[in-house]
Structure 1
Amino acid sequence: MRNSSAVTGEPGGTPAREAGTGQAVATVERAVDVLMRFTETPAMTLGVTEIAQALGISKAAVHRILASLRVRGLIELDESTRRYSLGVGAMRLGLAYLDRLDVRRIAAPELVTLSERTGETATLSTRTGWNRVYVDQVTPAREVIMSVSLGVPYPLHAGGSSKAFLAFLSEGEIESYLARAPLESLTDKTVVDVPGLREELALIRTRGWARSFAERMAGAASVAAPVLDHHGRPVAVVSVCGPLERFREEVESCAEALLESAGRLSAQMGWTGSAPAVTGPVTGR
């Protein structure tokens, strides 16, 4: 005779159904954990024992999960070494994600946060050949502010956002750009000396951000950092800018907030490297 005692839980649910659902969810979670393990280690391949020990599950369970992932092309097995690696299916998932990334849409809320935190204008730039353009900005609620012109091209050596782009290109691209000398001066502070610019680009790569005091426009100052993709290439640049005299006192705090924003955006664009920290005093020309 069937037991008719009451069962607590969701309306209409049964213990068997709920138990089955819970087991299914746990299985999916373990499969995801196994798959993500391949993204969290520098090793190109992993063995069953390594995965089992890292995740705290049995080798038998790992075997079953890997077999299912192999069927769907997410994992591949090297028959000679009996070690596993990410498969073509995983690559297709990653490429599908990257194809849908819209840096301007992703950066929009971060610009708001950055402007509110610094009390200055936050901008986003993208690159077009040997130039870059502002594509978005958020201005602060204060009487004296900086505002940029969207869509106007600027050379990659003039100003903080431009230098943040140039510094993170490949060595070959940097040398190709510098070979286009003489470099154009936008103000009397624009760095047009090639050896001096090359030295500054190396510093920018080391600390992760660029600064400009009146190099693009007289009376303006900024700090800028790249948004990196999964290859470590700059897909955009975020900056904080303000009136020169006021901004001189704000550089270090703005740079700190900037790096945090750029790091979050880079992570969303697929970059897994570490973000640099603000170190030492910052001085301008």
Structure 2
Amino acid sequence: MPTKSNSAAKGQAPARENTGQVIATVERAVEVLMYFAETSSPTLGVTEIAEALGMSKAAVHRILASLRVRGLIELDLVTRRYSLGVGSMRLGLAYLERLDVQRIAAPELVTLSQRTDETATLSIRTGWTRIYVDQATPAREVIMSVSLGVPYPLHAGGSSKAFLAFLTEEEIENYLSRRPLEPLTGETIADVAELRGELAAIRERGWARSFGERMAGAASVAAPVFDHHGRPVAVISVCGPQERFRDEVDACVEALLDVTARLSGQMGWTEEEGR
């Protein structure tokens, strides 16, 4: 008679095989769902999906049938083509509702500050102003530190301009026509035509810079974090004393854009949507 341990071993083999089959099926279903999310076509046929993912049409059909049961996929009975269903939308909305940019950005600020050896900040917009809500400072003797919760106008400084540049044209014109642009320092851009040119340049390169525009002696580079609609939901900046910062701009911009790209991705924005 087989020993007890041998019997147990024989009994485990089919269980492992079944588990492997289930995992493989789930992975294929995820591939199908992600293909719907990534393709530019709003509807897909079984043959298209099978050829794109290297699956049999029978397997794709079974997967689509299962996904339809949960409302993740819908079938047009006339065209026999499939599209994402209400269940997929609910999943996406549930994810977006749970996003907290300040919580997500906190460890990135620490990493950015360590990488640049300068202060990294997070700003959010409050109407026609913006405020700093978090910062991470480097371990060096002379540093920049910002005041959290203080409102600044959207035309003064790197973080402010990074917000303003990526609003809609209507919003920008509304801001520029509201009242004269108040200078905070002698370097603040207070001329509307000059500011329009600056905002266009910021949109072109993807980031803003400031040398003494918000506070004398301070310098920064800043870039927006986009949400799933391509709206600037927050701005990250790297800032430091102006004289020292001039030689650090290129390295700081590279590190900054790495961070804002990651955070924008977590907020649901993709490069394809930004094109």
Give TM-score scaled by structure 2 length. 0.95
Query: Structure 1 residue 78: deviation in Å?
Result: 2.0
Find the counterpart in structure 2 of residue 280 from structure 1: none
Task: Give 1:6's aligned residue.
Answer: 6
Q: Deviations over 1:109-168 (max 9, x none)?
A: 100110011010000000100000000000000111000000000001100000000111
**What one-letter code is carried by the residue in structure 2 that aligns with 1:213?**
F
Residue 275 of structure 1 and its aligned partner are, at CA, apart by 11
Residue 201 of structure 1 corresponds to which residue in structure 2?
A: 199
Q: Which letter does structure 2 place at the counterpart of 1:46?
A: L
Q: How many residues align?
A: 274
Q: Is the 8 A contact 1:127 1:235 kept in 2?
A: yes
Report whether the alignment pairs 1:17 with 2:15. yes
Q: Would you say the 8 A contact 1:104–1:124 is kept in 2? A: yes
Specify which structure has the higher proportion of helix.
Answer: 2
The residue that corresponds to 1:257 in the other structure is: 255
Contact 2:230–2:273 (CA under 8 A) maintained in structure 1: no
Partner of 1:186: 184
Segments of structure 1 that go 5 or more residues without pairing to the other structure are: 277-285
Instruction: Give the Cα–Cα distance (whole angstroms) in 2 for the partners of residues 101 and 182 of structure 1.
Output: 36
Are residue 268 (structure 1) and residue 266 (structure 2) matched?
A: yes
Q: CA deviation at 1:54?
A: 1.6
- The correspondence of residues 57-68 of structure 1 with structure 2, limited to 5 A, is 57-68=55-66
Alignment RMSD (CA, Å) = 2.0
Q: How does 1:139-218 map to 2 (within 5 A)?
A: 139-218=137-216
Aligned partner letter, 1:235: V
Identity of aligned residues (%): 75
SS at match of 1:190: coil
* Change over 3 Å in CA distance of 1:249–1:13 after alignment to 2: farther
Q: Does 1:220 align with 2:234?
A: no
Residue in structure 2 matching 1:52, options 43, 50, 53: 50
Given residue 16 of structure 2, which amino acid in structure 1 is its aligned partner? Answer: E
CA deviation after TM superposition for structure 1 residue 203, in Å = 1.1
Which moved further from structure 2: 150-159 or 67-76?
Answer: 67-76
Q: Relative to structure 1, is the Cα distance of residues 6 and 235 closer, same or farther in structure 2, using a 3 angstrom cutoff? A: same
Task: Quickly say closer, same or farther: Cα 1:275–1:48, change in 2 above 3 A.
Answer: closer
Q: Does 1:229 align with 2:244?
A: no
Q: Which amino acid aligns with 2:117?
A: G
1:171-223, CA deviations, whole angstroms, 9 ceiling, x for partnerless residues?
11111111113011100110111111111111111111000000000000000
Matched, 1:75 2:80: no
Separation in structure 2 between the aligned mates of residue 218 and residue 116 of structure 1, nearest angstrom = 24
Contact 1:263–1:275 at 8 Å: present in 2 too? no
| Secondary structure of the corresponding residue to residue 223 of structure 2 | strand
* Counterpart residue number, 1:93: 91
Residue 245, structure 1, aligned to residue 243, structure 2: yes
Separation in 2 of the partners of 1:7 and 1:29?
31
Shift in Å at residue 8 of structure 1? 8.7
Which blocks of at least 5 consecutive residues in structure 2 are unaligned? none
CA 214–77 in structure 1, closer or farther in 2 if over 3 Å, else same: same
Deviation at 1:71, TM superposition (A): 1.4
Look up the SS of the partner of 2:260 in the other structure.
helix
Alpha-carbon offset, residue 6 of structure 1: 2.7
After TM superposition, where is structure 1 displaced by more than 3 Å over at least 4 residues in a row?
Answer: 1-5
How far residue 79 of structure 1 moved from its aligned partner, in angstroms, is 2.3
